[in-house]
Structure 1
């Protein structure tokens, strides 16, 4: 009791201890409750507010731990809320009691709690002398009652140590005679000391054995809990850091001030992860309605401060380039101009940033091409077209690292997709108004096409030579056949040629060109009734010409 008077905040902990002792030695629990009620009554009559408050807080916790009956606390509340004795002090004490035992009364004495809440509601409406603090507290209690004390725990976690069947509840009323048993404060000789001491020691051993078992169980639970990995799915810490970075940037009047504040936050460990800082700078820029150089200036100054920021910004550029399809058009524009400004200022090394970009139909999509367009446009706006061309096209150190965008060096002419990639890149830069950057690519494309044509001509010439060799043997055979047949035809010549004679004459016409065919055609137009022999000759001649063409 003396300890509780000096440390009111430990009332719940001491009440938990008393509940354990009361389960084994209920006489001690009853004695403590009796003395507490007597202490309250005495100091209430003397208007000693400090001890009254301490007493009712301890009594309320004992009621909550089911050491003392709730009848006692209900009588105290009735005493405080009586019309004749009602004042702001008694009202504040009633509110203090209900804060502690409100949820317990709602569960075990709901009707009594409803009467008390109704009484507070009437006091709030009719009594004009209620202080402002008490009004706020009463409103809070009314809200808790409407929610059925949903989010209020009766006993704090870890303090409920006694099973329900082991609890001993003592009924002590305010209006009854209570014995304080003051004689127990003094030493008296015990005739049965050894017998009682043995009983006491056996009881202590029983309690301590149970406590040791509980300790072992707790150790096992702790070991199990150590293996559990807790993941914060709400990401509350991340949100707090992001909020801190955002407010710091928005409250800065210049980029120098923003960089100074952000670096100070990093030094004081308020921002423990550099990735969060860079990510928030980029996100703040992307969410603006129009692009602002304020954010790119912050990034440039950070990069100039330390090399670690340079590596991180390169990583974030590649990351945002890969997931750029998740952003809308305005965010695409802001991100493109943000990184374009960093590239134009030489803050980021292009050999490390652009080495994985491939500007072709297969490896890009519309959002990526739009982002690259804004990057190039921002670079030209900052440097001018001639300077950009000098850096990207004429720089012998840079060009081998950006062949995915400008494939003009280390060209593999055996690559079948090279011509398509060159055409795509040329068409892309021409479409966004930067055709001047494609001059060298056009020359490379000509070389690629010429190399391809030479390869085709070689294959054609080889196929033609094999074809001509096969045809040469056929021509010699046909010539020998035509010569022998012409001799026989000269010896047996007649006006009405035989079928055999027509066949020999047609074979002689195998080597006719297209001109005799046209002449035959003209002749056919003049003679409307051609002879049977001439028509047969014409048809056979056309067949021969077609076969030769094939």
Structure 2
């Protein structure tokens, strides 16, 4: 009925409709939005009409509402509202909710698996993970270890696969970490692995490691030689694979692989793992048709194996070098290759001093224990590549037990009873070893090298001497290594192209810290002066200027100059240059007056006796001439005065006449009686030796009196007067013996 009225009202004209009042706030809130004021169909209006009001209101609420309505002013009667339609779902596509069904019953518990079933599941899961890992899928290590721990049956392929992976990883790790220092400790660990089962892995790992690092080839060859003494099949397999590798690389013209293969074969020949005939075959193949690459490979191969061939097979060595000589003179090869051959001949001339057969630290195998394999270059070779991959072994446990017995025999491991008997004896030995271990010193000087590197980098990375001194003082130097810091400061100064004052200020800073550093710098001065002849001119100059800086600023005592003895016997050309640069720099830093005053100090005179000697005229003249030559003659005034006041040396007294001219005793005649010796002795015969030299005097006097000829004269002209004077004295004084010491003219005397 209400809907019909509403429809009739909507169809009536606008002027017939009753005027509507403005809605109250309550009605405005209850009214629909403006969009709902549009005209809709009946169904739409029914759907969008508000729900019916709740009639179950409390009486008190109705009373309050009536009271408010009575108190409010008169209003127009409310507009009639249509009853709200029944509420329906807006989303028509959403199905109506159904009643909840009771929860389903839990499934029955699966039956407990047996141990065999669990093991089978673990195997299947492990195989699945291995397949995924082979496809490049990452596997969490924890999950993989858990599955491996679940597999305990040694007869299954899965367990053997896990053991194979562990063996491969262990062999690769041991081969990669071996070096000269730890090879004695790596070998027992290597024999602890099953090398018979993993010999393919061992050879493969050795070849890869040697090709990657050629300088370690002697170490890998030594490791192979040690394994060859106990397990010859391992050494034989390695030689076969090396030969096959060289043959393939030679056919492919792979120079890098040929170089690495020949170097490994050379060191195996040196260790007598393979016979030297293989080396001769390889050299013949390389030099048969010489090219630049083949000659280069042959030269490198001969440098490594040449000394061994010279000692063991000289005929092979002579033939190889004859072939090199022919190639050098006749073959058309590059200039670089010719130079390599010439260097090889020089190496042979020097007796291979840089390429010994076996280094001393790697000579670990006795010659009688080594097993030499005779395998030719052209033999049929089976490299057994199947040993590189995993294969299931039904007798795995038996083979492992057999290798354990072999390992005990190789490593010298005894039974448990023997071990218990030896425990008591080893306890005392362990105590001695512990005492010896406390005395072990680092003979490789690795710590010292690291310390010197740290000091050098600290100095080079500092901006000023104060910063460098601060950083170096923060270094924790080991006890007794303080001289290394002083030595590194001086060496850093010496290696510069020119003298850098930075180093002098740094040394001055340290020398003024305490007495210890001053004493160390004074000791370094004495050490470097005694070994100054080992340094080249530039380093010598820098060292001299460094110590001159310390002396001029009194950072070290001047008594260090006592080590210098300035004479001809105790100085060398290098030490004289050092002294020259030292004093010239002292003069530049201090000035002439201050330097002379310092050297004239009475307290320093005992320390300066070597530089300014007062012992012999020869040494005094040498020192005077030296300082005069370096334009510092003002320092020699005192020495010149001392030399002038020295007493002149007296001539030695002439020998006595009775001693010089005593007549020889006459021998008695065999049949004559000896004459009696009574009576005075007869008068001596007159001395005619002065008259005998008269012709000689005339001969010397004639060229002196006559004008000097154009050609060279036998006697210089100024010598005429002294000669005539001496001859006249000898002629009128026969008692004076001849020859006389003839005085020389002044211009012929030695400069004093």
**Residue 217 of structure 2 aligns with which residue?**
11
**Superposition deviation, residue 262 in structure 1:** 5.7
Q: Distance in 1 between matches of 2:274 and 2:364?
A: 16
Q: Distance in 2 between matches of 1:279 and 1:186?
A: 64
Asked whether the equivalents of residues 270 and 357 of structure 2 are also in contact (C-alpha less than 8 Å), the reply is: yes
Asked whether the equivalents of residues 221 and 264 of structure 2 are also in contact (C-alpha less than 8 Å), the reply is: yes
Equivalent residue in structure 2 for 1:103, among 307, 330, 334: 307
Asked whether the equivalents of residues 292 and 334 of structure 2 are also in contact (C-alpha less than 8 Å), the reply is: yes
SS at match of 1:346: helix
The question of 1:156 aligning with 2:359 is answered yes
Distance 1:209 1:318, change over 3 A: same
Asked whether the equivalents of residues 328 and 341 of structure 2 are also in contact (C-alpha less than 8 Å), the reply is: yes
Q: Distance in 2 between matches of 1:157 and 1:340?
A: 54
Distance 1:354 1:65, change over 3 A: same
**Residue 260 of structure 1 aligns with which residue?**
501
* Segment of structure 1 superposing worse, 5-14 or 346-355: 346-355
Q: Give runs of aligned pairs for residues 344-493 of structure 1, distance below 5 A.
A: 345-346=593-594, 353-355=601-603, 357=605, 365-366=615-616, 428=642, 431=645
The question of 1:55 aligning with 2:261 is answered yes
SS at match of 1:67: coil
**Superposition deviation, residue 37 in structure 1:** 1.0
Distance 1:373 1:50, change over 3 A: closer
**Residue 374 of structure 2 aligns with which residue?**
171
Q: Give runs of aligned pairs for residues 155-304 of structure 1, distance below 5 A.
A: 155-209=358-412, 226=441, 258=499, 260=501, 263=504, 273=521, 302-304=550-552
**Which is greater in Rg?**
2
- In proportion to residue count, which structure has more helix? 1
Distance 1:187 1:89, change over 3 A: same
**Residue 272 of structure 2 aligns with which residue?**
66
Distance 1:65 1:277, change over 3 A: same
Asked whether the equivalents of residues 11 and 58 of structure 1 are also in contact (C-alpha less than 8 Å), the reply is: yes
**Superposition deviation, residue 364 in structure 1:** 5.1
Distance 1:64 1:301, change over 3 A: closer
The question of 1:29 aligning with 2:235 is answered yes
Q: Distance in 2 between matches of 1:161 and 1:283?
A: 39
Asked whether the equivalents of residues 23 and 168 of structure 1 are also in contact (C-alpha less than 8 Å), the reply is: yes
The question of 1:315 aligning with 2:564 is answered no
**Superposition deviation, residue 246 in structure 1:** 8.3
CA deviation vs aligned residue, 1:174-200 (integer Å, no higher than 9, x gap): 222111123333434445433432231
Distance 1:80 1:119, change over 3 A: same
SS at match of 2:365: coil
Distance 1:227 1:78, change over 3 A: closer
User: Which consecutive unaligned segments of at least 5 residues does structure 2 have?
Assistant: 1-206, 414-425, 446-485, 511-519, 533-541, 647-752
**Superposition deviation, residue 201 in structure 1:** 1.4
Q: Distance in 1 between matches of 2:311 and 2:564?
A: 56
**Superposition deviation, residue 267 in structure 1:** 9.2
* Segment of structure 1 superposing worse, 34-43 or 137-146: 137-146
Distance 1:346 1:45, change over 3 A: same
Asked whether the equivalents of residues 268 and 274 of structure 2 are also in contact (C-alpha less than 8 Å), the reply is: yes
Asked whether the equivalents of residues 19 and 162 of structure 1 are also in contact (C-alpha less than 8 Å), the reply is: yes
Q: Distance in 1 between matches of 2:308 and 2:215?
A: 19
Distance 1:220 1:206, change over 3 A: farther
* Segment of structure 1 superposing worse, 59-68 or 346-355: 346-355
Distance 1:143 1:240, change over 3 A: farther
Q: Distance in 1 between matches of 2:605 and 2:550?
A: 25
SS at match of 2:362: coil
Equivalent residue in structure 1 for 2:282, among 66, 76, 89: 76
Q: Distance in 2 between matches of 1:331 and 1:182?
A: 71
Asked whether the equivalents of residues 81 and 90 of structure 1 are also in contact (C-alpha less than 8 Å), the reply is: yes
Asked whether the equivalents of residues 22 and 67 of structure 1 are also in contact (C-alpha less than 8 Å), the reply is: yes
CA deviation vs aligned residue, 1:31-74 (integer Å, no higher than 9, x gap): 11111111221222222222222222222221111111122221
**Residue 45 of structure 2 aligns with which residue?**
none
Q: Give runs of aligned pairs for residues 90-169 of structure 1, distance below 5 A.
A: 90-128=294-332, 130-149=333-352, 152-169=355-372
Distance 1:44 1:282, change over 3 A: closer
CA deviation vs aligned residue, 1:393-433 (integer Å, no higher than 9, x gap): xxxxxxxxxxxx9xxxxxxxxxxxxxxxxxxx9x959949x
**Residue 494 of structure 1 aligns with which residue?**
none
Distance 1:139 1:99, change over 3 A: same
Distance 1:298 1:354, change over 3 A: farther
The question of 1:44 aligning with 2:254 is answered no
Distance 1:146 1:364, change over 3 A: closer
Q: Give runs of aligned pairs for residues 519-530 of structure 1, distance below 5 A.
A: none
Q: Distance in 2 between matches of 1:105 and 1:220?
A: 46
User: Which consecutive unaligned segments of at least 5 residues does structure 1 have?
Assistant: 231-237, 253-257, 285-293, 386-404, 406-424, 433-550
**Residue 442 of structure 1 aligns with which residue?**
none
**Superposition deviation, residue 91 in structure 1:** 0.7
SS at match of 1:98: helix
Distance 1:14 1:259, change over 3 A: closer
Asked whether the equivalents of residues 8 and 54 of structure 1 are also in contact (C-alpha less than 8 Å), the reply is: yes
Asked whether the equivalents of residues 13 and 159 of structure 1 are also in contact (C-alpha less than 8 Å), the reply is: yes
CA deviation vs aligned residue, 1:56-98 (integer Å, no higher than 9, x gap): 2222221111111122221111111113xx2101111111110
Q: What is the number of residues matched between the two proteins?
A: 352
CA deviation vs aligned residue, 1:282-312 (integer Å, no higher than 9, x gap): 999xxxxxxxxx99998775545x431xx43
**Superposition deviation, residue 25 in structure 1:** 0.5
The question of 1:87 aligning with 2:291 is answered yes
* Segment of structure 1 superposing worse, 344-353 or 147-156: 344-353
Asked whether the equivalents of residues 493 and 546 of structure 2 are also in contact (C-alpha less than 8 Å), the reply is: no
Asked whether the equivalents of residues 340 and 375 of structure 1 are also in contact (C-alpha less than 8 Å), the reply is: no
TM-score (norm 1): 0.50
Q: Distance in 1 between matches of 2:229 and 2:244?
A: 23
